[in-house]
Amino acid sequence: MSHPNLLAGIETCDDAGVYKITEDLALIQTLDFLTPIVDDPYTFGQVAVANALSDVYAMGGNPLTAMNIVCFPVNDMDMAILHDILRGGLEKMREAEVLLVGGHSVEDPELKYGLSVTGTVHPRKLLLNREARSGDLLVLTKPLGTGIINTALKAGMAPGELVRRATETMAELNRKAAEIMKDFTVNACTDITGFGLLGHACEMVDGGDTGILIHSSEVPVFPEIREFAEMGILPGGLHRNRKFRISMVEQGPSCPDWLMDTFFDPQTSGGLLVSVPETDAVLMAKRMNEEGLQYASIIGEVSDEPKGIIRVL
């Protein structure tokens, strides 16, 4: 599908669709919905909204309006649960200064909640996945491991305090990171979600003229997940992600197997992965740390060689 005004569509792996309305205004559209990943309905609503809005932030845009998407087992579940989910979602939209303008609900045996989101961006400020340049450094803004923690929770093995920290991370908007990003030269950006760090990094360079080096020891992860990863408490999505992209990835001897697994862990509402020229990257990561994004770190670099390959050192 192509059109002179279509700036990002289904052909690329970008995070949202983008349509240019005028020379200085483009429309961003995206939708995302989830099955519950936390037990508390209010918190689930918050995470689902943070997750749905993230795609707009990852395109360099501002989310403006949203509509609820609700699938709910009306006859089998207490309506109070739905009210709490919607309340959590609305609270997160208020925090993001996004207006809820409608929605749609259907009866479904499995609960799901999310948003359709509309935002805007100046066409020249639009950030695509695939414009990372050789010499850029890569900044990741949230720690990895929420998929593994969720699997450990199902196994009854995750400590409550770890679950609380992971949930807080998932419910955190990528808004502040996106706002800070606007003060620096940014060449490319995506958010880390279902394909994991390496899956999304692969999208940045697949078939292109650049490759990526990841410094595994610099990547922020929840430290407690090492034990779970080594014990094989890993979600199915992690193995699917690995199988899909392993031909594009080289694991160096200094990266342990558990960490390599973690880099394929599917994330819910993960951080932004931002490709920034070296000087700006250092300043940007520092500024993010100073403004409360404690995990934001420079995790790697974009290189001329090996083209289309992620090398994990």
**Binding interface with other proteins (CB under 8 A):** 151-152, 154-155, 229-236, 239, 243, 257, 261
Cβ-based nearer residue to other proteins, 230 or 305: 230
* Shortest Cβ 153–other proteins spacing (Å): 10
* Shortest Cβ 13–other proteins spacing (Å): 24
Cβ-based nearer residue to other proteins, 74 or 155: 155
Cβ-based nearer residue to other proteins, 151 or 275: 151
Token pair for residue 214? 């990841």
Token pair for residue 171? 């419910």
d(CA 139, CA 275): 7
Cβ-based nearer residue to other proteins, 106 or 155: 155
* Shortest Cβ 77–other proteins spacing (Å): 21
Residue 107: CB partners within 8 Å, gap ≥ 6?
Answer: 71, 72, 73, 74, 75
Cβ-based nearer residue to other proteins, 182 or 239: 239
Cβ-based nearer residue to other proteins, 129 or 251: 251
* Shortest Cβ 249–other proteins spacing (Å): 16
* Shortest Cβ 154–other proteins spacing (Å): 6
* Shortest Cβ 142–other proteins spacing (Å): 24
